[in-house]
Chains A and B, each alone.
Chain A
Amino acid sequence: MAERDQPPIQDAGLTNQLADVPHRFIPQPILEPGHSFASITDHISSIILRRKTPIGWMIGFGISLLGLGILNVTIAKLLFVGVGIWGINHPVGWGFDILNFVWWIGIGHAGTLISAILLLLHQEWRTSINRFAEAMTLFAVAAAGLYPALHTGRPWFDYWLFPYPNTMAIWPQFRSPLMWDVFAVSTYAIVSLLFWYVGLIPDLATLRDRAGNKVARIIYGMGSLGWRGSAKHWHRYEHAYLLLAGLSTPLVLSVHTIVSFDFAVALLPGWHATFFPPYFVAGAIVAGFAMVLTLAIPLRKAFKLEGFITTKHLENMGKVMLATGLMVFYSYAVELFMAYYSGDPFERYTFINRLTGPYKHMWYALIICNGLAPNLMWVRRFRTSPMMLFITAQFVNVGMWLERFVIIPSSLSRDFLPSSWGTYHGTRWDWSMYIGSIGLFLFLLFLFIRFLPMISIFEMRTMLPEAQAHSAEEQH
């Protein structure tokens, strides 16, 4: 990370030197000038250790608790009555449950992308957003995992999904994409947790050394595993971190690929397409960046983190959202073209039905949200405006949900035999489950920002120019 072409910090001299250059060509800083190792440490750790709990946090946490309560009531009802409380039927056996599973899993992908792929690509601006993006991944995967677990109908037997020695002498069917999904999602959850925790260890040591309260010292001390910043430890640590990034990169691509196999391997018109994996991965990235923006913009405002999460970060995320949004839009076009080009009447009908059938308003809303709205990001003024970024991100959040609705119920409700056609609508329990899972996500997120550093302290220290030291041999 030491070598890179551009200076990571904009110094005062650079601005004067470039005084006659138009403003937009001057490199934007990724860390506000004037920070030191101490000020970075103090600012980020004081959010957790010093300040009284802000009233805004209390209100947000209260709202998330309400959502969590709705989730609990829904799950209790589901366990007593069964999946019949949802809108699923024949032929639409996958409704909101799978739709929301894919939506949440997709959102999770940006965290790993930021923490692993951008690390390998030496994108230093990732440093101030990777920690909470990784946390977002974990919480999104937790929310996602609820759905298939409950959709099995008898969730108390979910452990049958795992290969374990059993007296029934049976094994899971490893040729099924649904089993691939079990392995992909559980591996993803575990590896993301490890990656996040490894990143936290040095920061937990900082909190251990700075906490005034004895209980906090002990808890953070246990979490830090006795980290003391030894050069040998750092050497192995950085090695392990890079290896984890290298492992997570193909992993994150594999997860949404395998999620897309759940559909692509089925023979259903509208699902059975070889290009589903890249289409789903691009969708996951745009969804994830939209969610990172949704969280980052209010957080930087509330906790005065504009010096760490600068306009440059927001602009870069806007660019990623634009690029992946266009890939997704292209995928919609390819999907339509391939339906026409396949010559298959069932395939063609599925797409005519999407554009003109009972769910056509979903499809048009999808095109507005995912096809048109991200194009606002072509305009620099919008990319650098937190308000416009936030609004665009909301369009994408809704758009990605609509995309999965268009793929799942609209394809399932019109398969090969007109005699088995049906319609699908989410019931109020579907909606309460969805709202509840958002509550769970926010609940975990509020706990995270209160008790753990939402920006990686030690990695921010390395962004300062004085973090770069050189041996005598290197200097000449």
Chain B
Amino acid sequence: MAVGKRIEGLYGVIAEFHDAQELLTAANRTREAGYTSIDAFSPFPIHGLSDAIGFKHTKLSAIVLVTGILGGAGGFFMCWFANVIHYPLNIGGKPFNSWPAWIPITFETTVLLAAFGAVFGMLALNGLPMPYHPVFNVSRFEQASRDRFFLVIQARDPKFELKGVRDFLDSLHPREVTDVPW
């Protein structure tokens, strides 16, 4: 099997670990060994694990900033348009453009759209909902939501070579190494 060539029907090779420290160390060593298409799975967030698999930034903050600004501007515009342009009510000659009275609604729409940005942005960036994923084909993967930790090297990694990857993962002292079919 040539290096870097896609292997039919294989998503990658997965290794199972017993605790968070083993997984973090293994993930760091895998990245240092030059693998780039890797992912780690744990039952809870582990500090430093995303760095260890070479994932640094998320665009989520920028998304939330933009949706928040849109929410604020949109909310204020709605009040201004309704009360000044489209449906002005003259009450005792008071000014139509009474902007302080619109701040509460502007604030609420800002928070609402920013929250939408945070939740739906997170789900979209994560590619969720995704009912099927190849890692679910590994029967022991059910334990990833309980007390087991997994590290996968994907077949699309340029350095991927089946035997070499199996041996490499074995050298990290996992509990078990399994191939992940598509």
**Residues in chain A within 8 A of chain B (CB atoms):** 1-2, 36-38, 41-42, 163, 169-175, 177, 179-180, 183-184, 187, 190-191, 194-195, 197-198, 202, 205-206, 208-210, 221-222, 225-240, 243-244, 247-248, 250-251, 254, 258, 261, 458-459, 461-462, 466-472, 474
Contacts and interface: CB of A to CB of B under 8 A. Distances in A.
A187 B42 contact: no
Contacts of B48: 469-471, 474
Given A175-B98, A209-B145, A240 B104 contact: no
B133 interface: yes
Interface residues of B, number: 70
Given A225-B130, A254-B104, A254-B107, A170 B87 contact: yes
B178 interface: no
A175 B83 CA distance: 8
Contacts of B145: 41, 202, 205-206, 208-210, 227, 229
State the main secondary structure of chain B at its contact with A. Answer: helix
Contact of B102 (A174, A210, A459): A174
Interface string B82-123: 110011010000000010011011011101101110110111
B144 interface: yes
Contact of A228 (B79, B82, B101, B135): B135
Given A179-B105, A261-B104, A458 B43 contact: yes
A237 B122 contact: yes
B176 interface: no
B33 interface: no
Interface of B: 19-21, 23-25, 27-28, 39-53, 55, 58, 60-61, 64, 78-79, 82-83, 86-87, 89, 98, 101-102, 104-105, 107-109, 111-112, 114-116, 118-119, 121-123, 125-126, 128-133, 135-136, 141-147
A201 B122 CA distance: 12
Nearest to A458: B44
B82 A38 contact: no
Contact of A250 (B82, B105, B111): B111
B146 A237 contact: no
B55 A235 contact: yes
21 contacts: A170-B87, A187-B109, A187-B111, A190-B115, A194-B115, A208-B145, A226-B131, A228-B141, A228-B144, A229-B42, A230-B41, A230-B126, A236-B126, A237-B122, A243-B118, A250-B107, A462-B45, A468-B47, A470-B24, A471-B24, A471-B51
B50 to A, nearest CB: 4
Contacts of B121: 240
Contact of A221 (B28, B39, B125, B131): B131
A458 B79 CA distance: 42
Contacts of B39: 230-232
Contacts of B130: 225-226
Contact of A210 (B27, B122, B146): B146
A231 B53 contact: yes
B20 A468 contact: yes
A37 B89 CA distance: 62
B163 to A, nearest CB: 26
Contact of B144 (A229, A240, A461): A229
Given A191-B111, A243-B118, A254-B107, 7 more contacts: A174-B78, A174-B79, A180-B108, A184-B108, A225-B131, A247-B111, A258-B104
B123 to A, nearest CB: 7
B45 A237 contact: yes
B82 A183 contact: no
Contacts of A226: 128-133
